[in-house]
Structure 1
Amino acid sequence: MAQTTTRIPGTAGYPDVFSARTHVVANRVLTVVLGLVYGYWAAAIRRDAGPITGWNIFFGVVSALAFMVVQTGVRAVAPRLRRELHALAWGAFAGVAFGFLYSQTGESVLRSSGNSLIVTGSVTAAMFYRYYTHEDAAGHRVS
């Protein structure tokens, strides 16, 4: 009996050994794990080695939920955009996420904004390069 494997575009012919359901579960788990790490990180920065309070935990949970919701939205909307806007969506997400964490350190708004713009530009450039080299002119993924 011959076993059939599906191929994922852009994987250079490597077989996909996991089912579609496994990929969906992994994407959801990754979103939750990244959100929890982000929320903990934001709460830890804001706490600044002080005592853990209820408000600090609340801040971490709200930060985690906001991160997860926005990341889910970007993951849903960005692939439908042209490669330029697709890259900009991920760049903006990374820049805002970084800027929020950086602003919790007590630095000025100008410094937080400037560093966020650097992160946004860097991530946008990297994502544009990735999408430009992995898509044809019509925006379809090529392997």
Structure 2
Amino acid sequence: MATQAAMPSGRHRRTAPDDGEHHSPLGFVLPAVLAVTAGLWAASILRFQDGGIANGAQWLVGIICALVLGMLAFALGRWGHTLPRELRALAYGGLFGATVGFLTSLAGGSVLRASGIGLACGAGLTVVMFYSFYVRE
């Protein structure tokens, strides 16, 4: 039985940019939007738990959450292409799972519940990202 041979497509994959090359604005905007969203989410979770007006401690937790997530997301987007697709998918899934688990623990969930939800969300995104990387590469 005859089978088809895989033929290279007309599209060429662009290599990773060098340090001196111009980077896409999306590489800066997407981590910033994710960081601001998670920071506001963390501050609002604490705000709704405590009631009353927002205080400095709630905003401080939100700012720290935004800074940490933003830096990790930027680093993963900038240097993640150097990892093999399995480790890159695991890194994206781990970052997402840790963020969801942290926000779940802020919402008052137990350590077991926050760990379980974070692990499930991280595993799900790892599978999706691995499939995405496998199909594209």
* Range into which the TM-score falls when normalised by the shorter chain: 0.7 to 0.9
User: Normalising by the residue count of structure 1, what TM-score does the alignment of the two structures yield?
Assistant: 0.75
1:75 is the counterpart of 2:77: yes
Kept in 1: contact 2:27–2:74 (CA 8 A): no
Unaligned segments of structure 2, at least 5 residues: 1-10, 15-20
Give me the whole-angstrom Cα distance separating, in 2, the residues matched to 1:69 and 1:25.
16
Task: Kindly provide the amino acid, as one letter, of the partner of residue 52 in structure 1.
Answer: A
Structure 2 CA distance for partners of 1:130 and 1:45, relative to 1, 3 Å: same
What is the match of residue 38 of structure 1?
Answer: 38
What is the match of residue 28 of structure 2?
Answer: 28
SS of equivalent residue, structure 2 residue 43 = helix
Unaligned segments of structure 1, at least 5 residues: 1-6, 11-19, 136-143
Q: C-alpha deviations, 1:89-124, integer Å up to 9, x for none?
A: 101011001111111011100010011110111001
Task: Kindly provide the amino acid, as one letter, of the partner of residue 100 in structure 2.
Answer: F
User: Normalising by the residue count of structure 2, what TM-score does the alignment of the two structures yield?
Assistant: 0.78
Kept in 1: contact 2:27–2:77 (CA 8 A): no
1:128 is the counterpart of 2:130: yes
Please list every run of at least 4 consecutive aligned residues from structure 1 whose deviation after the TM superposition is greater than 6 angstroms. none
Match of 1:54 among 53, 56, 67: 56
How many correspondences in the alignment? Answer: 119
